[in-house]
Amino acid sequence: MKFNKAYSGLINKLPPSLVCEAWSRIISRKRNPITEEEASSINPLVESFLRHEVNRYQKKLKYQRKSLPLFKNFLYDTNMPDQETQTQDTNPICDHEEEINCRIKKELGSLSRQLLEYNEKTFGSFMQEITKQLEERINANNELRSENDQQKLKLQKAEKLLATYSGLINKLPPSLVCEAWSRIISRKRNPITEEEASSINPLVESFLRHEVNRYQKKLKYQRKSLPLFKNFLYDTNMPDQETQTQDTNPICDHEEEINCRIKKELGSLSRQLLEYNEKTFGSFMQEITKQLEERINANNELRSENDQQKLKLQKAEKLLASLKSQ
């Protein structure tokens, strides 16, 4: 594959070696890479890249033309014989110029090879270390992202479960919901895992219906036994019939006292239930939110470090490009 013929005006300004090098660089560069088909077609990215290469090559030629007379004079002065023994013929001067050009080419070739070797030794390990660090950071970031995705999936499953079984769960107090969860994942007969229990499952639905029926039966029993409890308190606290008067006011007073006691007991039970719910679910929700915040902070730190490593890599690439152009 080659560059398109539409760019022949730019390609002719470059030697064949630089054209081949430009082709390999444009299809293998890390920043904004393009395929061979795109590189061989008419593309504004290819045109800007070739113009940049031509400008670099022309600047290099200008620098060499400026430094060439100084280098010629230096070699000419060091290798020129004394003026007393030099002849007046101009043919030796021409021979000296050819010899100087050959020496200059050899010296430039050796200098370029030395520079390339030095760059490879100096920046090769540095670039490898940077790429290794970047790969490690990227892998760690990917692991964190996968963990975050898993947490999101679990949260979505829990939300679906709540939406599906909210009608049954709302009929139970929070303490019984926690007890039901621990029982369904730890029972000996037909046990299920936490994932199965947190998903939409007919076994979970039947288990919750069973728990709701049990709780409703318990409430009915308590409602039936409450009048008996009232009568028991009334009978134990009522004086003997012989000493009792015919007035109905004491009976009313006893009923009010019983109602007050029942209200107090119910109030204390409700406060205990609220405290138990706060102790049970408060720490659990705080722990979940804390873990999520830690994950988010670690992910943000990794992203900032990745950005810094990318900036360092870009600076190193620019430094390498400037050294190669020199």
pLDDT at 60: 86
Predicted model pTM: 0.26
pLDDT at 326: 56
Q: Is 211 exposed, middle or buried (0-12, 13-18, 19+ CB in 10 A)?
A: buried
pLDDT at 87: 44
pLDDT at 55: 92
Give the chain's radius of gyration (CA, Å). 45
Is residue 72 within 8 Å of residue 104, measured between CB atoms? yes
Query: Nearest-CA neighbor of 71 among 124, 107, 116, 121?
Result: 107
Is residue 50 within 8 Å of residue 10, measured between CB atoms? yes
**190 Cβ neighbours under 8 A, 6+ residues apart:** 203
* Per-residue pLDDT of the chain in tens (326 residues, 90 and over written 9): 678 888 888 888 888 888 888 888 888 888 878 888 888 888 888 888 889 989 988 888 888 787 766 555 555 555 544 444 444 444 444 456 777 788 888 888 888 888 888 877 777 777 777 778 888 888 888 888 888 888 777 667 666 666 667 778 888 888 888 888 888 888 888 778 877 877 777 888 888 888 888 888 888 888 877 665 556 555 555 544 444 444 444 444 567 778 888 888 888 888 888 887 777 777 777 777 788 888 888 888 988 888 888 888 888 778 777 766 75
Query: Nearest-CA neighbor of 99 among 78, 130, 124, 121?
Result: 78
